Structure 1
Amino acid sequence: MGEQDSYTNRRASDKQFTLLCIDDESANLKILASIFKDTYKVVVCKQPKKAMSMIEDIMPDLILLDVVMPELNGFELYEQLKQQPILNNIPVIFITGLQSAADEEKGLVLGACDYIQKPFNYGIVRVRVNTHMEIIRQRKLLESLANIDSLTELPNRRKWQEDSANQWNFAKANCKKMVLGIVDIDFFKKYNDAYGHQQGDIVLRKVANAIRRVLFDHGGAIYRCGGEEFYFYIPIEKNMDAETILAQCLESVSALEIQHQASITSSILTASIGAVEILANEDYSVEQLLSIADEQLYQVKNTTRNAVHYIRIPA
């Protein structure tokens, strides 16, 4: 079995990548769909003026784009695509009947990753598309690794900055409430001093997984953003009691029953939470809300620990 055949079989099982084919000729779209329908999720578009809205909706991994089309040609459509910050990194392959070297040069200068002339050879198109999809797969893998904390396998601070901003913008647009906060393991330095850093790493993983399970059940997420410090958010739906959810997070840590004889608070490992609940609005940023949550955490760390300090900002 050849390398490309092996690649095709590997991708055929999940179709996790989306290929958008844009061409005003139905026959060409049918041919392209038949070539790739068993390997990728294939979406076709016959009307170039509708292509931009379709691209925004499906966010394809790769676009096969004809050049000669009525009303809006492929070069013009691609230039529009490059002007959109969230779309301009989507790779494009021109597949066109234009034969001149000048046209091919124009397509590549615009930024296309490849240029295939019609009439095309099915095998060559398949190989070229598969090659670019493999590059996309590797890039996404590297991006995902860059967003993961290697110890706990939680998303990291970089991912927090991206996700929290997206969640906050969504909440603002839909008049939703959110809770943002910080979890800190109580007396973690004392734990490391008493039991060793290797055991401390094990504890970090256990605590991360315990809290992650609780938050996941309520649509929330947690991120490792410091040594023993975790950031989190919870989108608040009607009748949700965020304080109860956060209390469950602390209970999940206590339920691990990890011995911590060096703790002043308890004989087992505990954690503290500072959090803020707010109806999303333009008056606050995620950074400002985290600062408020940090103030709440400071209060609990300087009093009882093993508790939630929680504030609601009135609408």
Structure 2
Amino acid sequence: MHSFTKEEHRRVGEQNYTILCIDDESVNLKVLASIFKDHYNVIACKSAKQGFQRALNENPDIILLDILMPEENGFELMAKLKQHPQLTNIPVIFITGLQDAEDEEKGLMMGACDYIQKPFNYGIVRARVNTHLEIVRQRNLLQKFALFDSLTELPNRRKWQQDSVDYWLSAKSAQTAMVYGIVDVDHFKKYNDYYGHQQGDVALRKIANTIRRTLFEFGGAVFRCGGEEFYFYFPGNQQFSDEVTLTACLKSIENLAIPHLAISPNCLVSVSIGAVRVIPSDNNSVEKVMKQADERLYLVKNSDRNGVSYLDLNIEKQQIVLDIS
């Protein structure tokens, strides 16, 4: 009776969307669950208070919300959802017995994406929910394209600006050390001039994927923030462990064995790294730490390259590791 059409499957795909249904009437919750449970994860809540908490915990893709509920009504909950930064962008559909045009206008003006009156038609509810889930899917794709570099498929500078601060604040709260830094491909302009930009793109993809895999093993992440420049962070442990991680990045690029004949017959593509270990505090910031990492990077670039300049702010001691091959 409530089966999905092939077109509906095609549009929303096979993603595991979560629908949060909030209604004080158990029969309504059961009906909504029967429509969607075979295809989506359905969460049912019988009060606005419970629904708000589940929204925080589960981060649903869409919320189906009744208006007439005891203690706190749907309009009041809607206001709270829109004021909360984590929940403000979740689409909300009012499904209610209120049939006054003023109520519908109020719900839409508050930011609801749709307004369905009870008693509702199962097919219409299903179709409208699927329409808005398709919008969610497209929005997520656009967000992915906006936050990722198309060449290397790494997160980009915009994503770095979001994630690096999030991790900084998390480490600050826990008072744990983080390592922030920059990887720069050595003599990359000469590589492009000698081999051509198409081959340069191939090399960049290999380098990006190699650094990503290496840092992932140490709980870190890497972002493409310039032509041949990558920013990264990973959780700091003991000083030796940090050096092991950074040296592993150098070795992983060396192991690619990409020839760089523009420099010399036996030269391989290499990278230089500037890194800073810090326990985040009010006296510092990601921007200040990355400026120091950039200074460390240029110590390597102005020396023999293919190395690391590493600064531990907490012991005010720097170490330089060069010529690891």
Partner of 1:261 in structure 2? Answer: 261
* Structure 1 residue 39 displacement after superposition: 1.7
TM-score, normalisation: structure 2: 0.91
Partner of 1:19 in structure 2? Answer: 19
Where does the alignment leave 5 or more consecutive residues of structure 2 unmatched?
Answer: 316-325
Question: Greater shift after overlay, 274-283 or 205-214?
Answer: 274-283
SS of the residue aligned with 2:70? coil
Question: Greater shift after overlay, 237-246 or 221-230?
Answer: 237-246
Partner of 1:39 in structure 2? Answer: 39
Partner of 1:49 in structure 2? Answer: 49
Confirm or deny: 8 A CA contact 2:179 2:275 kept in the other structure. Answer: yes
Match of 1:215, as an amino acid? L
Question: Alpha-carbon deviations, 1:243-297, whole Å to 9, x = none?
Answer: 1111011101011111112237971111010001111222221111111100100
Mapping of 1:1-315 within 5 angstroms? 5-10=5-10, 14-237=14-237, 241-263=241-263, 267-314=267-314
Question: Greater shift after overlay, 73-82 or 32-41?
Answer: 32-41
Question: Alpha-carbon deviations, 1:81-122, whole Å to 9, x = none?
Answer: 111223211110000011111111111111100000111111
Match of 2:313, as an amino acid? I
* Structure 1 residue 239 displacement after superposition: 8.8
**In 2, Cα distance between the equivalents of 1:249 and 1:282?**
30
**In 1, Cα distance between the equivalents of 2:46 and 2:304?**
65
Match of 1:303, as an amino acid? S
Confirm or deny: 8 A CA contact 1:185 1:229 kept in the other structure. Answer: yes
SS of the residue aligned with 2:44? strand
Question: Greater shift after overlay, 98-107 or 225-234?
Answer: 98-107
Confirm or deny: 8 A CA contact 1:265 1:305 kept in the other structure. Answer: no
Match of 1:284, as an amino acid? N
Confirm or deny: 8 A CA contact 1:15 1:41 kept in the other structure. Answer: no
**In 1, Cα distance between the equivalents of 2:28 and 2:240?**
51
**In 2, Cα distance between the equivalents of 1:30 and 1:158?**
42
CA RMSD of aligned residues (A): 1.9
**In 1, Cα distance between the equivalents of 2:266 and 2:302?**
15
Structure-2 change in CA distance of 1:7 and 1:308 (3 Å): farther
TM-score, normalisation: structure 1: 0.94
Question: Greater shift after overlay, 62-71 or 85-94?
Answer: 85-94
Confirm or deny: 8 A CA contact 2:177 2:236 kept in the other structure. Answer: yes
Question: Alpha-carbon deviations, 1:53-90, whole Å to 9, x = none?
Answer: 22111111110000000000000110111112232111
**In 1, Cα distance between the equivalents of 2:125 and 2:314?**
58
Confirm or deny: 8 A CA contact 1:9 1:39 kept in the other structure. Answer: no
**In 2, Cα distance between the equivalents of 1:237 and 1:105?**
55
Confirm or deny: 8 A CA contact 1:8 1:39 kept in the other structure. Answer: no
SS of the residue aligned with 2:140? helix
* Structure 1 residue 8 displacement after superposition: 4.2
SS of the residue aligned with 2:291? helix
Confirm or deny: 8 A CA contact 1:16 1:41 kept in the other structure. Answer: yes
**In 2, Cα distance between the equivalents of 1:35 and 1:252?**
51
Structure-2 change in CA distance of 1:276 and 1:193 (3 Å): same
Q: How many aligned positions are there?
A: 312
**In 1, Cα distance between the equivalents of 2:27 and 2:174?**
42
Where does the alignment leave 5 or more consecutive residues of structure 1 unmatched?
Answer: none
Match of 1:235, as an amino acid? P
Confirm or deny: 8 A CA contact 1:21 1:63 kept in the other structure. Answer: yes
Match of 2:172, as an amino acid? K
Question: Alpha-carbon deviations, 1:3-49, whole Å to 9, x = none?
Answer: x6125435887442211111111111111111111221111111212
Structure-2 change in CA distance of 1:65 and 1:240 (3 Å): farther
Confirm or deny: 8 A CA contact 1:210 1:252 kept in the other structure. Answer: yes
SS of the residue aligned with 1:267? coil
* Structure 1 residue 173 displacement after superposition: 1.8
SS of the residue aligned with 1:255? helix
